[in-house]
Amino acid sequence: MKDLGKADLLLGIKILHSKSGFSFSQEHYIENIAETFDITNLPPVNTPLKRGLQLTKTSEDEVRAFDKLGLNYKSIIGTLNYISTNTRPDISSAISHVSQFLEQPSLNHWVANLQVLCYLYHTKKLTLNYYNIGRKNIITYSDADWAMHSFSKIR
């Protein structure tokens, strides 16, 4: 084995080293995705999804109309999920919400994904930071939000 030194890039994630810890960035990846989906000229948004947005089940007519557009819903969800799990947990709730419609998406669901992407593009300089604070224990917090499933039988 050969020591190549500190890693600067791993799976498209830029690693920034400092005395206080590490920062992880996907700025370049987000820029490329924004260009792919042609959202670079859209105005900035403050949140991943509009406040109070209620996405609902799609009718068969809406599904057929969406299919005719040839848009790859699963691709944009996969892309956003990759970013969310690696460096941008701030969009996790939004991705969870729009992922419910993988099998029957509509144009409304697509537009919601574009808003998430637009949010990412205009906040692309945000990084995920891990600081060396001297502790050896990991502290985590979690929240389950079953109330988000207003149209399903999950309660």
**Which pLDDT does position 80 carry in this prediction?**
97
- 3-state class (DSSP) for residue 152: coil
d(CA 99, CA 78): 9
Structure token digits, residue 116? 């998430």
d(CA 84, CA 13): 12
* Full residue range of the structural domain in which residue 40 is found: 9-145
**Which pLDDT does position 42 carry in this prediction?**
93
Q: Residue 3 falls within a domain, yes or no?
A: no
**Which pLDDT does position 85 carry in this prediction?**
95
User: For the residues 102-114, what does the mean pLDDT come to?
Assistant: 94
Q: Residue 68 falls within a domain, yes or no?
A: yes
Q: Residue 155 falls within a domain, yes or no?
A: no
Beta-strand relationship, 13-18 and 9-10? antiparallel
**Which pLDDT does position 144 carry in this prediction?**
67
d(CA 46, CA 13): 24
Q: What is the mean pLDDT of the chain?
A: 90
* pLDDT, tens only, 19-47: 999 999 999 999 999 999 999 999 999 99
Q: Residue 57 falls within a domain, yes or no?
A: yes
Structure token digits, residue 53? 């947005």
**Which pLDDT does position 12 carry in this prediction?**
87
- In the predicted structure, residue 150 carries a pLDDT above the cut 70: no
d(CA 120, CA 33): 10
Q: CB neighbours of 40 closer than 8 A, spacing ≥ 6? A: 34, 121
**Which pLDDT does position 23 carry in this prediction?**
96
Q: Residue 154 falls within a domain, yes or no?
A: no
User: Where is average pLDDT lowest: 61-65, 74-78, 98-102, 149-153?
Assistant: 149-153
**Which pLDDT does position 31 carry in this prediction?**
97
* pLDDT, tens only, 68-107: 999 999 999 999 999 999 999 999 999 999 999 999 999 9
Reference 31, options 122, 133, 154; nearest CA is: 122
Q: Residue 27 falls within a domain, yes or no?
A: yes
**Which pLDDT does position 90 carry in this prediction?**
96
Domain count, the chain: 1
**Which pLDDT does position 84 carry in this prediction?**
96
Residue given tokens 């604070």 in the structure block: 133
Q: How far apart are the first and last CA of the chain?
A: 53
Q: Residue 93 falls within a domain, yes or no?
A: yes
